[in-house]
Each structure stands twice: as C-alpha cells, then as structure tokens.
C-alpha cells in the first residue's frame, strides 16, 4: 500500500546475548536457523516496503555474498562517511535524519532498515524508528558487535506480537510509543 504515512522499520537478527555479528563482522551464527522453505516472514515483510537503508559495512557484507542483488526492485540507500554518489545498486548518503525526513514526506511503502550497529545507533539516537522487529537466534556469541550500543536515549516501545519457530528463533515486534523521549 502506497501512502505518505511511511513507517521506518528495523528488521534485524541478533544472538540471544544481543550481538549482530562477531568482532570480525562474521555472521555465520545466523545459519543455525536456516530451514528449507522458512523465511521467518521476510517475503511478507519486504512486500510492504519500497525503500531500504543499510550501513556501509552491511552493504559491503551483502556484496561479499556474490550472486544477484536482492533489492533491485527497491530504492536502496547506504549510510557512509567515506562514499558519495551512487553505484549500480545503491545511493550513498551521510545525513540520516535528513534522509528519513525527506523519505517520510514522499509517497511510498514503508522503509526497511537493517544494520549495522552504527546505523541502528543513529536511528535510535534521533528517535527515527517506528517499528522494531528483532529475530533472536538461539546462540550466545559472547562478544562482538552489539545491536543496541550504549549512549542512545531512553525510548518506550509498545509490544505488538511475538512469533516462535521450530528452529528456536523468536521474533519480537514492538512499535514506538508516541510519547517516546527524544
């Protein structure tokens, strides 16, 4: 559904102890919950979005997988302090609040944000996320790149739902409360 009331949705996975990757950006632990035919609602989720925002390291990781770029049908933005312009898949930017403000004024579907830790920190720092969808992987990494870095402002969320899957993955859905502190 195309609307001018576009939501900014964080859709991301983390280990049970709160990490999105190891220190070396390794995300192999995610494969523990790969089950043939199970996408954990990803196809349904992406049908409701037309814009993707990633951090540069996440984009580089996606490129390292090789193969076809999976969001050719979406507008993809990459937050970067070192790159500008565009490439065959994405457009680079460095002012997240300005980009979100611009996108929310445009007609379109929801906006999908996914990693990395710096992007998530900025989204919470400026209270830009409308919905948080976190898939918790039943694995303890022990250390690595935290999903929720210290130093962001306190924010209230409203529980929407939780989904459990036979693989042990638990998906948590929360919406931003309107009276959230900024």
Instruction: Give 79-101 pLDDT, tens digit per residue.
Output: 999 999 999 999 999 999 999 99
CA of residue 182 relative to chain centroid, distance:
20
How many residues make up the chain in this entry?
A: 182
Confidence category of residue 167, pLDDT binned at 50, 70, 90: very high
Q: Degrees (nearest 5) of the Cα angle 133, 67, 45?
A: 20
- Domains of the chain, residue spans: 8-176
Instruction: Name residues whose C-beta falls within 8 Å of residue 41's C-beta, 6 or more positions apart in sequence.
Output: 163, 171
Structural element, H or E, at residue 50: strand 49-55
**How many CA atoms lie within 13 Å of 109's alpha carbon, on the beta-carbon side?**
14
% of the chain surpassing 70 pLDDT? 96
Q: Per-residue DSSP letters for 74-117? A: SEEEEE-SS--SB-SS-EEES-HHHHHHHHHHS-BSEEEE---H
What is the model's pTM? 0.91
Q: What's the whole-number average pLDDT of the chain?
A: 93
Instruction: Name residues whose C-beta falls within 8 Å of residue 36's C-beta, 6 or more positions apart in sequence.
Output: none
pLDDT at 3: 64
Instruction: Give me the residue label for tokens 């929720």.
Output: 148
Superfamily name with CATH number, domain 8-176? Dihydrofolate Reductase, subunit A (3.40.430.10)
- In degrees and rounded to multiples of 5, residue 159 shows phi and psi of -65, 130
């Amino acid at each position: 559904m195309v609307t001018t009331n576009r939501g900014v949705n964080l859709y991301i996975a983390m280990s049970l102890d709160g990490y999105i990757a190891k220190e070396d950006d390794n995300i192999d632990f995610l494969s523990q919950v790969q089950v043939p035919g199970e996408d954990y609602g990803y196809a349904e989720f992406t049908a409701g979005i037309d814009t993707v925002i990633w951090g540069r390291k996440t984009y580089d990781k996606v490129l390292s997988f090789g193969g076809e770029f999976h969001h050719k049908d979406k507008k993809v933005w990459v937050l970067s302090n070192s790159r500008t312009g565009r490439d065959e898949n994405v457009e680079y930017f460095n002012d997240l609040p300005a980009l979100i403000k611009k996108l929310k004024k445009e007609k379109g579907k929801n906006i999908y944000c996914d990693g990395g830790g710096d992007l998530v920190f900025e989204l919470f720092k400026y209270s830009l996320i409308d919905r948080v969808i976190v898939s918790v992987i039943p694995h303890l990494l022990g250390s690595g790149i935290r999903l929720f870095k210290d130093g962001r402002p306190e924010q209230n969320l409203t529980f929407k739902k939780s989904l459990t899957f036979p693989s042990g993955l638990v998906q948590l859905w929360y919406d931003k409360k309107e009276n959230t502190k900024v």
